[in-house]
Structure 1
């Protein structure tokens, strides 16, 4: 429609009407003039309507052609485009004296800006943000008086949708498989080729939360160089991300050339190591490598390079001791590590999570030199780190005594932990095992020995890891006589079984599967994986534990051989109490025996004597003597328990008479102390008249 109505065309003031004074009749010329004016203005209105329609269509086409990555940018762009178009229309209307339409267009633009500002305020104040705005705009049914209710309802719907979307994203995240960790000696059977699979030494299992992978983005910041577009893990120590890759490709032809001529050399970036059988050959190869590098355009660092043959050097942060074939920690690294521990312990009440993570990172980096103990003795500290909400968060270690115990362990024992050998010794026997949901089997390579067994109904329902560990145990028991006093390598297709046997498990039933019934030699704190086996009352695993020996000196953990202080002994390990008995009196003469055969006979003598009594009797007497030892530890004046003075034995029995609820306790304590002294071959205080009187008194009470 035109802005000028057709019915009003004849009433316009600018239309020239013939005067009545001239003539009372309208002439043909006047009629023609009126019709011409009418049609001219009619066509002008149609032309303007057509121009407006064409402009609207062009604006819609322009909007549809514009594409944006984010919806918010598109909405803002469309609003700005509409405002610019309205400004152009208003200017055009003013130029053509269409003032009413210009005012109308400007008012519409003002209303659009007010509406946009209102939506911005809603998004800023509501919990759902722009999702609330979308829900608010989609609800057009309510009246203006209920606008506040609409906003609240829209906000609630938006929050629910956000929670649903987050849950869906978490469920759809693809997690990377957990990476196993271990030292250079970590081995597992490869099901494809029957060989070993070497674990990467610097990867940790289970230390961290699940990791999701994504590509680098332009807004990602590198915490190493401070630049954007890449991550610190992609930043190599050459200053540029691709420099290390390029440098490796440049050096690769030289390495291939040297190895082709029989030079045993390896290179990691710009650090190389060359080995030779003799000192003379090593000198010749050193000269050649140096000359080839110079001729290739490289400039060797005079301060770092060692061109003379040595048998001990520091390479890649570790001391390579070729004399003893061991990989050791450099002294400077140990000193820095202890200094870091001192800093943490000096701030024990307020330590940053970042500092604890730094400590654990250093410990894990020691894995190639000291083995799996790095993962065993960092479990509690990693548990504290995983509770973090922020890397700069402070934690009170007084609430995490287990973590303090681990830190103290590293401070006291980092110097004496056994280094990892560079070369793996060849085993005398190779045993292959496998298990299914039906049964298990194993065979000894190079022989006709085969072991197999079908699972019971209960065993068949257990996990595959348990069945694999059980298969190793059954095979070992079956071939015990053949494998005795020999080194053995077991091959299995279950990586979890290898990890549990090397490092233990937090699941008690798997920990039990790793060892037979006997004494546990453990550090006494709750981070130990076998804590439920010992320290929980009425534990279903209590039958596996005969006695507990707590160690405090790391150098005594890995004592080899068949003796009373051995962790891995061929004979029965008797525990702390029996080890005390078999170290005094008659048994202290073991140092006089030099010949290996006589020493072996002496070591087996203790088991023979113990087997003379029933196992339950030995356990009963050992337990009551252990209670007596615990009682003596409360009084510093009691210096010795084997032999113990008859005075203190009498006082202990008197203490039991006053506190015990039954006479059998006093009787068992008396015979337990007497049995221990007789077994040790020392003077027995229970043979004194005073002790006999006490025992006879209990016999009389028993009869009465």
Structure 2
């Protein structure tokens, strides 16, 4: 006769007492106990049902031998271009069996392999391994030893960071709730605009985690979305390749920053802040053509910082943006000291006056690009009463009605989106370091 496995969890004395009673009950009932498979003395770590249960650390892990067996199977396949459905099923089965310890990553990173198995004609038929399937094998080969075991009772843990995300037709957004409530925002390019709403919502999650990875590092993060498909895909992946690639990227980011990510759905009414930010339209994400930048970077550079940029138009690796966005070095250029930079400066028109004052305040240097509008409010900040440029403007170049000087941003009707600009443009070399 066979009895299902089981174990008792309590303090040492209670477990010891229960062990004695249970042994006596089994003996008096006439059962013969398999002593080799029994653990009668209370312990805080044991192997049970193929897992290592560590009550001291509160985690479920995989026994060393089980990991070694998987490592051998993966190694035998990762350099092959063909494999049988039986071989693939053996690897996928071993990985899926670890889901209880490692979570949904076991399903997400076996999607392509599972689809190949489903395409089999018979078990020993040779199947061509796709590039995506090989990527999954490489992932397990490289990360088997670095995956973190799951906490046994995660519902007792309070999230250390809380995030709300959303996406509209033209932008992705997110709110990181911490001491300063950081805001993430990214305007979509034409490719992302053409994708499904689920793709854009998932893309917003991916970009937010990459952007704020350092702020979320080694943290238990709770992420909320009002799109149920996003929650499902983050948890188990997708059969659609573009969505699966995003799920793949999200988990790679979590591994890179050691983020323990938990996702949950919320009604739209409880996601109103992220929804509001996603509807923000950045009319000032136009930029300067790359050939223009290269010319002045050789002439007056090299430039060390792009003060007013976004992930879609930055010219220097170090750049400041309006919101947190992929690759940004900081939010709000006016919150940083420009004194140590040779800056590339292309501010929105309404910030030109403030930019000039801050350049002088920081005693900074850089190249400022402005339209030559002598009736604009910023014009007296550039020239004196005699119409001469201020002493801090040490050089300049004027482009008269230039063609293809600007690159259009999201607002296709902007004056900066026209091929020929409707006025002259000034490229001013500022140096206020001696003022």
Provide the TM-score with structure 1 as the length reference. 0.29
- Who wins on radius of gyration, i.e. which is larger? 1
Q: Which has the higher strand share?
A: 2
Provide the TM-score with structure 2 as the length reference. 0.44
Q: Which has the higher helix share?
A: 1
Higher relative contact order (CA 8 A, sep 6+): 2
